[in-house]
Structures are given as structure tokens and as C-alpha cells.
């Protein structure tokens, strides 16, 4: 925690226009007033009536103090700390994911440098693995993150640490990628677009994966769950589990808590559960599964042939992945087929290869279920005809 932080100065960085929209979205009522340069907002709740005097110009000498006073009032009405409210209002259309390491060693709000490096690195890895699980469900990911999703995560930011053992915040602005362009939303953007944004889908995926891991460990069926859902929207990859096992929870004295604070003005498309805590008790089942998977993982298989079909989201602007079916000849010159999900960039090249009748090669982990063969974590290449 940076104890010298001037929160009044930080509050002064908040736009009065944004705050007015924020209050209106949260059902504060603007009441008539003859005062100049100030709007008055009120909110009636069971525990009392709250009132805010909102300054209307940064030129006012007491703008910082007035905005900080507004933060104090909002914090009381929401039951949150002033520090948390300021963070949310500096990032008004952002989900904020907090990673908290609970340990006696961190009670003062500081952390050993090696533990901090692990925390920050693996926090990013959890987001990347969640994105891959969401866009290209697979038990393991060997390739790189889709370029569009990479743009999204590059715009995430680590916020200031907070008191409470050791807490670091990742600010995730609600945004979409449209035709390869990053589009970040504001308080004035359509609420439905914000609720269905890639960011909101990603933060939900991270929290729901954490919840599923905890529940299935408690039921003793983690391995079965991961294998059964390897290609579904509930997929949890070994990559996600590895990042989780490398967090400080591997220390017997530590606990890890991950909490999502949904963008306060975007109430749709959120989870009922937003906070998951894992103790060291959950570490061994997670570590055991990842090690078992590495030991039993089959060698990569390669198939060379031509694409029979391509299927994906019809709207190219919203497309993040696509499925291809490849036909090939085996060593005995018998025809066969195999399916694979490809990230958008590879899928676009696959569509061109399909149109031109080009020979392609896919390499990855072969999964067979009945008569269906599927390549996971595929590396895709277009070969010369």
C-alpha cells in the first residue's frame, strides 16, 4: 500500500460529467436547486437519505474536496471503502478483478518481491488461459493467444495495491474487438453492448472457472469434469490450472482470494458468485492433475490434406474462432477426416485455402470420441500445392 497517496487529488481527476451519469444510472435523483455550479443528487435507502453536492466545473477551487466528499457519501451508500469507490469511478466502465494473498506475512500490505513477481505473472496467465478456454475450448493450449484477444488484454491495467493482506487489482475496461479494431466503451455507451462485451465474457469466465475448480475438487471429480468439458463452454485448460497452482496458494500458510467487481453501471450478464477463496488444501489436487496430464499427454499428431468444410460465426466482425474439417489419406491410402477449432487468424487463412483448394497441415493433440477425431491446440499451416 502506498500510504502517501493523496486521495483528494485522485478524486479530483474524476470527471463531474461521468459522475453525474454514474449517479443517474444508479438511480440517484437530481433535485431542483438554485445553487450555481452545483447539482444536488439524493438517494433514499432503508438506512437513510444520502445527498451529494456535485461540482460542475474543475475551475472551482474546492473541486477536489467536493469530489472527495461525494466519494465518501457514495462509499457509505454502497458499503464500500472510499479507496474502492475512487478506483471504480476512475475506471467507470471496467470490471475490476482483485487478487488477494492472505498471509500473516502480508498483513501490513506488503509482500516479498519473489511472491509479488509470481502473483503478477500468474494473474496475467490466468486471464490469457481464460481467454483461450473461452474462444477455443481445449484441455491444453500450445499456440499463441488470438491477436484480437491479445489487444484486449494489453489494455488491462494493474491498479494500486490495497490494504488487506496483499491485494492487487486488475482493471479490465469493457471493450470489444470489431473488424480487428479495439473499441473501448464509456459510461455513455449502450448498456447491452457493455454487458455482452468480450471483457465481461472474459471476467465471467475467469470467476466461473475458479468456482468450478473449487466445487469439483470438493466433490473429488476434478479430473472427470475437465475431461468431460474439454470442448464445451465450461472448458478449463491445464494452462489455467498451472497458472493457479503457481500462485502463492502453494505455500501451506497462504490463501488466495479472487474477487470480481462488475462495472457498477452494467448490471446485466454478471454472476451470482463474484468471490472465490482457495486455501493450500486445494493445491495438491490441482498440481496432481497437471503433472498427470503432462506425463500421459500423447505426442503431437500431424495431418496433411484439404479442407472439406469451414463453419463459424456468420458475422465476420464478431468472429473469434472457426471450425474446419480436414480430409486426408492415411499411411494405407485410406481416406479419413479430422476436425479442429482454429483461432480467427488461422481460420481466415483456412477459408482462403478452402476456396483455392490448397493443401494444409494441422498439428496438435489427437482426441478420439467414437468415430469423431479432433485435433486440439492445433498449429495450422498452408502448404504449397
Q: Is the pTM of this model over 0.85?
A: no
* Band of residue 332 on the pLDDT scale cut at 50, 70, 90: low
Residue with cell 505426442: 299
Q: Residues 17-51: pLDDT tens digits? A: 999 999 999 999 999 888 889 999 999 998 889 99
pLDDT at 296: 60
* Band of residue 3 on the pLDDT scale cut at 50, 70, 90: very low
pLDDT for residue 313 is more than 90: no
Q: Residues 165-178: pLDDT tens digits? A: 788 899 999 999 88
> Could you give the 3-state DSSP secondary structure of residue 66?
helix
**301-382 topology per CATH:** OB fold (Dihydrolipoamide Acetyltransferase, E2P) (2.40.50)
Alpha carbon 326 to its chain centroid, in Å, reads 32
Q: Residues 213-269: pLDDT tens digits? A: 999 999 999 999 998 888 788 999 999 999 998 887 778 888 999 999 999 889 899
pLDDT for residue 310 is more than 90: yes
* Band of residue 311 on the pLDDT scale cut at 50, 70, 90: very high
pLDDT at 1: 40
pLDDT at 379: 85
pLDDT at 321: 86
Map out the domains of the chain as residue ranges.
Answer: 7-90, 94-296, 301-382
Which residues 6+ apart lie within 8 Å of 212 measured at CB? Answer: 225, 234, 236
Q: Residues 59-76: pLDDT tens digits? A: 999 999 999 999 999 999
Strands 162-163 and 275-279: unpaired
Name which of 299, 349, 356 is nearest 324 in CA terms.
349
> Could you give the 3-state DSSP secondary structure of residue 162?
strand
Tell me what the mean pLDDT of segment 280-303 comes to: 81
Q: Give the sheet arrangement for strand 29-31, strand by strand.
A: 29-31, 38-45, 48-55
Amino acid at each position: 500500500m502506498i500510504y502517501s497517496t493523496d486521495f483528494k487529488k485522485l478524486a479530483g481527476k474524476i470527471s463531474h460529467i461521468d459522475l453525474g451519469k454514474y449517479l443517474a444510472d444508479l438511480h440517484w435523483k437530481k433535485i431542483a436547486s438554485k445553487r450555481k455550479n452545483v447539482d444536488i443528487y439524493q438517494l433514499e435507502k432503508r438506512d437513510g437519505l444520502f445527498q451529494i453536492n456535485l461540482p460542475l466545473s474543475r475551475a472551482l477551487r474546492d473541486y477536489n474536496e467536493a469530489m472527495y466528499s461525494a466519494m465518501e457519501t457514495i462509499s457509505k451508500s454502497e458499503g464500500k471503502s472510499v479507496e474502492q469507490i475512487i478506483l471504480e469511478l476512475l475506471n467507470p466502465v471496467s470490471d475490476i478483478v482483485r487478487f488477494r494473498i492472505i498471509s500473516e506475512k502480508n498483513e501490513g500490505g506488503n509482500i516479498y518481491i519473489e511472491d509479488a513477481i509470481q502473483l503478477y505473472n500468474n494473474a496475467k496467465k490466468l486471464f490469457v488461459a481464460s481467454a483461450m478456454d473461452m474462444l477455443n475450448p481445449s484441455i491444453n493450449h500450445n499456440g499463441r493467444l488470438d491477436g484480437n484477444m491479445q489487444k484486449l488484454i494489453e489494455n488491462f491495467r494493474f491498479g494500486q495495491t490495497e490494504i488487506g493482506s496483499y491485494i492487487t487489482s486488475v482493471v479490465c475496461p469493457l471493450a470489444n474487438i470489431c473488424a480487428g479494431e479495439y473499441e473501448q466503451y464509456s459510461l455513455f455507451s449502450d448498456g447491452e453492448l457493455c454487458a455482452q462485451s468480450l471483457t465481461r465474457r472474459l471476467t465471467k469466465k475467469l470467476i466461473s472457472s475458479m468456482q468450478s475448480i473449487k466445487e469439483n475438487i470438493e466433490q473429488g471429480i476434478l479430473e472427470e469434469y475437465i475431461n468431460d468439458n474439454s470442448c464445451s463452454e465450461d472448458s478449463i485448460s491445464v494452462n489455467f490450472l498451472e497458472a493457479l497452482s503457481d500462485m502463492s496458494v502453494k505455500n501451506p500458510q497462504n490463501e488466495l482470494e479472487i474477487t470480481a467487481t462488475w462495472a457498477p453501471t452494467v448490471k446485466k450478464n454478471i454472476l451470482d458468485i463474484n468471490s472465490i477463496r482457495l486455501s493450500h488444501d486445494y493445491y495438491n489436487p490441482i498440481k496432481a492433475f497437471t503433472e498427470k496430464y503432462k506425463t500421459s499427454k500423447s505426442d503431437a499428431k500431424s495431418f496433411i490434406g484439404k479442407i472439406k468444410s469451414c463453419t463459424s460465426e456468420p458475422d465476420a466482425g464478431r468472429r473469434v474462432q472457426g471450425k474446419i474439417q480436414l480430409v486426408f489419406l492415411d499411411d494405407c491410402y485410406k481416406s479419413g477426416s479430422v476436425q479442429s477449432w482454429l483461432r480467427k487468424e488461422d481460420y481466415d487463412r483456412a477459408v482462403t485455402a478452402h476456396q483455392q483448394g490448397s493443401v494444409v497441415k494441422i498439428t496438435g493433440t489427437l482426441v478420439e470420441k467414437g468415430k469423431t477425431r479432433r485435433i486440439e491446440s492445433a498449429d495450422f499451416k498452408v502448404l504449397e500445392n
